[in-house]
Amino acid sequence: METVVTRPRSVRSKINQNGRIVIPAAIRQEMGLKAGESLLMEVEDGVLRIESYPARIRRIQQEFAQYNRPGVFASDELIAERREEARREDEEIKRDRELYQARLQKAEQVA
C-alpha cells in the first residue's frame, strides 16, 4: 500500500486488498489519534469523513454552545415546562368536568 503526503492536511493513499487505508503518522498526530482508538466514519456526498470520538464531542458541544445560557440548566427549564404543561392540562380537565356537570344539571332540569 502506497501513501504519499502531498501537503500537511491532505494525503494521497491507496486501499490495499483487505480494504485498509493507512493514515500517515503526521495526520494521526495532528488528529491526536492513538493506535487502537475507535473512530467514527461517515460518507456524505461521496466524501469520507473520519473523526475521533473526542473530536465529535467537541464539535457537537460547539454547535450547541449558542443555546447555552450561563447559570441556567436545560434540565431545570425542561422540568418547569413540563410542570406548566401539566398545570394547563389539569385546568383543562377541570373546565371539562365543570362543563359536563353543568350539562348534566341542565339535562336533569329539562327532564
Q: What is the full per-residue pLDDT of the chain (111 aa) written as tens digits?
A: 555 545 556 778 889 999 998 888 888 888 889 999 999 999 999 999 999 999 999 999 999 888 888 888 889 999 999 999 999 999 999 999 999 999 999 888 887
Q: What is the CATH classification number for the domain harbouring 50?
A: 2.10.260.10
Residue-level pLDDT at 68: 83
Clarify whether residues 12 and 57 are in a common domain. Answer: yes
Domain with 75, as residue range(s), is 70-110
Q: Which helix (H) or strand (E) holds 51?
A: strand 47-52
Clarify whether residues 55 and 22 are in a common domain. Answer: yes
Contact criterion met (CB below 8 Å) for 31 and 40: no
Residue 11, C-alpha cell as written in the block = 494525503
Per-residue burial over 18-45, b = 16 or more CB atoms within 10 Å of its CB, e = otherwise: eeeeeeeeebeeebebeeeeeeeeeeee
Clarify whether residues 36 and 74 are in a common domain. Answer: no
Instruction: Give 70's Cβ-side CA count (13 Å radius).
Output: 0
Clarify whether residues 18 and 53 are in a common domain. Answer: yes
Helix (H, G, I), strand (E, B) or coil at 12: strand
